[in-house]
Amino acid sequence: MQQRRLQLVVVPPPVRAGAGQIQLRWGATIYGHVELSLCPVDRRGLLLGLHVEPRHRRRGVGRVLARAAAARGGGFSWSANPPDEADAAALWARVGAPRAPASPCSHQEAAGLRIEPHWPK
Phi–psi pair at 7, nearest 5 degrees: -150, 150
pTM: 0.85
Give residue 100's identity as a one-letter amino acid code.
Answer: A
Element (H, E) at 33: strand 29-39
Query: Mean pLDDT, the chain, as a whole number?
Result: 87
Give the pLDDT confidence of 95-114 residue by residue, as tens digits: 777 777 788 999 999 999 88
Q: Residue 11: helix, strand or coil by DSSP?
A: strand
* Selected residue with higher pLDDT from 85 and 72: 72
Task: Give all domains of the chain, ordered by start, each with its CATH number.
Answer: 6-110 (3.40.630.30)
At residue 40, the pLDDT reads 95
Instruction: Answer with the residue of higher pLDDT: 65 or 1.
Output: 65
The answer on pLDDT for 121 being more than 60 is no
Q: Which letter, b or e, does each residue of 80-99 get, where b requires 16 or more Cβ atoms within 10 Å of its Cβ?
A: bbbbeeeebeebbeebebbe
Q: Any idea what DSSP says for residue 56?
A: G
Alpha helices in the chain (DSSP H): 61-72, 86-95, 106-110
Q: What average pLDDT does range 17-41 have in this prediction?
A: 95
